[in-house]
Amino acid sequence: MIRIGYDVTALAHSAYGGIAQVCLHTLRQAGRNPDMDAHGYYRSGRPSEEVNRELSLKKMSLGDRWWGESFDIVHGLCHRLPRLRGRRSVYTLHDVWSLYPNRYQSPSFQKKIGARMRRELTLVDFVVTDSETTRTNLLELDLAPPEKVAAAHLGVETPPENDDPPVPPALADLVATKYVLFVGRLEYRKNLGHVVDAVASLPGVNLVLVGQPGFGYEESVKKQLGRIDSARLHLFDQVNDHELSVLYRHAIATMLPSWEEGFGLPILEGMSHGSPVITSNCSAATEVAAEAAVLVPPDDPATSRAAVERLLEDPPFRDMLIHAGRVRAATFTWERYIERLVTIYRQLL
């Protein structure tokens, strides 16, 4: 049995968000795998009672690196090496844009985080990426040798196709309308202006956004949201799993036209819930969606608007996209993700 110490700090701050979901499902699936003895740690924050009740997370101390429990593998899931004792170390790289000057972070944040990540990439024994796209991007930066990097695709929990969860009263009026759904952080990288422009000119179509503000929200995203009638815009900081499932199932489409994606979990979540997906024709979004989504140029919202119109007017096309999405999502499971990690761990040991 492989004894593993995971850094899941993102989960101690919020159960929502892409990295937090990776932390949650990694620990959850590792706990079910007979070959793994997994323990979750966090550097800062405070896990919710629900998370701690299921996973029993521990807070790291400075002394853990020298005098704490010893592990076969220490694995950082939050873009940081854990301060834990281990025979081998693994680092999950969810994306690469912190490793070079970019428009998705403030210059000071990028410089600070990028320098730390570059340093830690030289210290770690192995790097896991969420996608082959991110693996390729890392190798192009020449920050790790090819034999030291491998991709492990993330997964999605697929509900039964005939499952139709009851609509919560608070969402009843909304899901009775026609709407396009966006799920993710409200930040510059996610290209919210594209989403707004694609929907604003469609009469009778609302826009539902689920996510919290991120970099660029005050400077640009808030202004972009002002380009659609406020009566047609519905903002949710966060929703629970049941509410999100309902929103996916009743949406005309799930739209994620990001400039960059290291993976794009909402693509799979939408597909698995029977929501047609419209996403970027670049970055890891194309790797995840393949031919099961409408792929659009991030700088062309008219293409997304046309796709929504076709979904409204062409039922066979909509049914085809829903079926293709379900089939595609079924190939991404958290069980396969964990099996891939176990293979990597065994090779390291």
List strand residue ranges (DSSP E) for the chain, in order: 2-7, 36-42, 58-59, 70-76, 85-93, 126-129, 149-151, 178-183, 205-210, 233-236, 253-256, 277-280, 294-296
Are 45 and 13 a contacting pair, CB within 8 Å? yes
Position 164 scores a pLDDT of 78
- When pLDDT is averaged across residues 193-216 and rounded to a whole number, the result is 96
CATH number 3.40.50.2000 is the correct assignment for the domain at 169-329: yes
| pLDDT beyond 90 at 122 | yes
Would you list the DSSP string of 247-263? HHHH-SEEEE--S--SS
Would you list the DSSP string of 41-102? EESSS---HHHHHHH--EE--TTHHHHS-EEEEEEESSSS--SSEEEEEEEEE--SGGGS--
Position 183 scores a pLDDT of 97
- When pLDDT is averaged across residues 303-323 and rounded to a whole number, the result is 98
| pLDDT beyond 80 at 162 | no
User: Does the CA dihedral 157-160-166-171 come out positive or negative?
Assistant: positive
Write the pLDDT tens digit of every residue in 94-113.
999 999 999 999 999 999 99
CATH class of 2-155+333-348: alpha beta
Position 299 scores a pLDDT of 97
82 against 163, higher pLDDT = 82
Position 62 scores a pLDDT of 83
Position 125 scores a pLDDT of 97
How crowded is the C-beta side of 108, counted as CA atoms within 13 Å? 0
Write the pLDDT tens digit of every residue in 239-280.
999 999 999 999 999 999 999 999 999 999 999 999 999 999
- For the chain, the structural domain boundaries read 2-155+333-348, 169-329
Write the pLDDT tens digit of every residue in 283-298.
999 999 999 999 999 9
| pLDDT band (50, 70, 90) for residue 215 | very high
| pLDDT band (50, 70, 90) for residue 14 | confident
Count Cβ atoms within 10 A of the Cβ of residue 44 and give its class: 0-12 exposed, 13-18 middle, 19 or more buried.
exposed
Task: Select from 19, 264, 269 the least CA-distant residue to 27.
Answer: 19
Write the pLDDT tens digit of every residue in 22-78.
999 999 999 999 999 999 999 999 998 888 889 989 999 888 888 888 999 999 999
Separation of alpha carbons 347 and 349, rounded Å? 6
| pLDDT beyond 90 at 158 | no
- Which residues, 6+ apart, have CB-to-CB distance to 166 below 8 Å? none
- Which residues, 6+ apart, have CB-to-CB distance to 123 below 8 Å? 81, 89
Output the average pLDDT for the chain. Answer: 95
| pLDDT band (50, 70, 90) for residue 160 | confident
